[in-house]
Amino acid sequence: MADSDSEEEYSPSDEVQSSSDTENEAASVRNSTASVRLDSPQAAHTGADALLHRVRGGKRGRGGCSRGGRRGRGGCSRVDQNTANGEVGSGDAKNRRNGGRRGRSRGRKCTANTGGGRSGIHCPTVNDDDNDGWVCLRDEEEHHKWIRHFDEPVGYREDRNLTNSEPIGFLSLFLDAEFWSLITNETNRYAHQFLEREELKPNSRFHDWYDVTVPEMKAFMALHLCMGLVEKSEIEDYWDGFWPTYTPGFGKVMSRNRFEVFLSFIHFVNNDERVERGLPGHDRLFKVRPIINMIIPRFSAIYGPHKELSLDEMIIAFKGRSTLKLEVSSGYVLQWSMYTGQNTHDDENIGATHLIVRQLLAPYTGKGHEVYMDSYYTSPAISRELANNDTGMCGTVNCNRRGMPRVFMRHDKLLACAFHDTNRLTLLSTIHGNLCTKKRIRTKENVTGFREIEKPVCVDSYNTFMGGVDTADQRMKTYLFPHRSRKWYSRIFNAVVSISVVNAHIIYTRCNPGQQKTLKVFIQSIITSLLEGYSKKEGKKGGRPSMQQGEVPQRLTERHWLRNTDDRLDCIVCSDHTHPKGRRQAQFRCSQCGVGLCAVPCNEIYHTLKHYKEDDVWLH
């Protein structure tokens, strides 16, 4: 119990709890700085300064906490603020709880001067031992110059001169001959393993499998990229003959069955080398590990980033979390990591997010970079670790993170800050001071439609430099393969290929400033290059013999008779499984062709028109 008048040792429960009354009071002094608790509504404000601080002292009555004042049972503590027009306090009667009395304010008072000129913090000295090294900021401070000067080389750094090169040359920086050989060989290996292991049904499409070649694999990837440019609801729709949405290019490159078999068999590793779960060496990303180890290191080896970096997660249709580290100015992806669950490491005090940040930033620490990240990764521990390695950091933070102060102060190189406009934003930074900048924002409360606020520079910088991930994510998802796969590793593969294409486009733009191409045109050029020299009949073995050009199908030359059938077959002409209620069953079948047909008009259409699916006469 806290009913003695003697000064007590501070604990989190000794902080002033927020209420509707104190929220009303905070609104009346919104443009000032309050000495309140970090997680109370008053802690975040729109005023001249976003640096808050706690001052303990004074006495406390039963049933409540005080921050600089003695409080009786059920009373409200006082918050004092000095503004240009005088002192504003919360000592009025409306802030008094029923049945409570209010004591005098006997503790030390902390004020924030916001009258004219530059804003600043003025507060009494606090005991550093009680605050774990966190101290108040008194005067406005400039940017700290402790970070090493950034002088690293920036941009494309390969020996190959790609100026005036075609887009496929830039993509080959990541997807080179080794990549194509890997996925071709492993796909053939997996297909053989599957066919030897499984007993196929008589009508299985896998009976027509034949080994894939590198040119055919490139053709498959070309169609894969095409589907990101021309999005349809189902994969089968790309080969559908419905004339308003017909896309004949897909059928000219590869049959639908062949493409779907590709999707079933595409593989990147030998399954025989897999280590079972629970055994040493088990890897949850085993299915895509060769692709990750081959492509991801090339991102950072080929391109040198600018000073500002951003780190954020990317959503993939996969039960895991994907983390990206990018260059802010271009959205170029430098590092990529997939979180698949808890991993064991030597230091038990380090969490998974701390370990991810450490691993992704390892090649860039000690070089003077500044990293911007969101609240999922930001913590005092990782901020100090980066600061000790000459790497600046700025990011939003959750108030309940381990090591966060109860109020906003500075700890050595680390600054804690809160800002409130529409919503509250809490940040940690090792590269900013408490400088503020004036901003005009839209509002409905003013006849001009704008109001002017003083915004902390660290908040302004965060909003500016955290957009790199959004830029990259938007580019990747704009033309990403749109169809979901049942195999989780295929989704990760699609994401890695998309990142490679976007990175290649960024390097192309930097190397050819006078020959700018949009990402869409860039992808179209890559598709054209991947299809060069490929023939649909190349490497084809087995299956039905294809008709030579000008050869007439047998169904158009002989006499055909319809027979009743007990088995209801789908009409080959008018039945359409790609649309709701599009399936139509026929009572008859052609005795020569063996297909289901409606007597009228499908029988005549099928036996007289070469491209019966492309004509609209059968729609009835």
479 DSSP assignment: S
226 DSSP assignment: H
pLDDT the model gives residue 211? 94
CA distance 429 to 383: 8
3-state secondary structure of 530: helix
Better pLDDT: 298 or 585 = 298
CA distance 65 to 209: 76
Share above pLDDT 70 across residues of the chain, in percent, rounded to a whole number: 62
Task: Using pLDDT thresholds of 50, 70 and 90, give the confidence band for residue 596.
Answer: confident
Q: Among candidates 113, 108, 112, 141, which has minimal Cα distance to 125?
A: 108
pLDDT the model gives residue 95? 40
Q: How far is CA 121 from CA 284, 323, 409, in A?
A: 51, 38, 11
Give residue-wise pLDDT tens across range 330-366. Answer: 778 888 887 666 555 556 667 778 888 888 888 888 8
Residue 75 has pLDDT above 70, yes or no: no
Strands 308-314 and 370-373, by their bridges, are parallel
Residue 97 has pLDDT above 60, yes or no: no
Residue 602 has pLDDT above 80, yes or no: yes
- Residue 601, preceding peptide bond in cis (omega within 30° of 0): yes
Better pLDDT: 387 or 409 = 387
Q: How far is CA 204 from the centre of its chain?
A: 39
CA distance 606 to 598: 10
pLDDT the model gives residue 524? 94
Give residue-wise pLDDT tens across range 187-241. Answer: 999 999 999 988 888 888 898 899 999 999 999 999 999 998 998 988 999 998 8
CA distance 417 to 7: 28
pTM over 0.75: no
The answer to whether 107 and 78 are in contact (CB under 8 A) is: no
Residue 63 has pLDDT above 50, yes or no: no
42 DSSP assignment: G
Better pLDDT: 168 or 379 = 168
Residue 73 has pLDDT above 80, yes or no: no
Residue 85 has pLDDT above 50, yes or no: no
> Max Cα separation, the chain?
110
Question: Which H or E run contains 222?
Answer: helix 214-229
pLDDT the model gives residue 145? 63
pLDDT the model gives residue 226? 93
Average model confidence (pLDDT) for the chain? 71
pLDDT the model gives residue 221? 94
pLDDT the model gives residue 295? 94
Query: Mean pLDDT highest for which of 168-182, 387-401, 416-430, 556-570?
Result: 168-182
Among 4-13, 254-263, 432-441, which stretch is predicted with the lowest mean pLDDT? Answer: 4-13
Better pLDDT: 65 or 282 = 282
pLDDT the model gives residue 200? 87
pLDDT the model gives residue 557? 63
CA distance 408 to 415: 8
Task: Using pLDDT thresholds of 50, 70 and 90, give the confidence band for residue 1.
Answer: very low
Task: Using pLDDT thresholds of 50, 70 and 90, give the confidence band for residue 41.
Answer: very low
Phi, psi (5° rounding) for residue 355?
A: -65, -40
pLDDT the model gives residue 68? 39
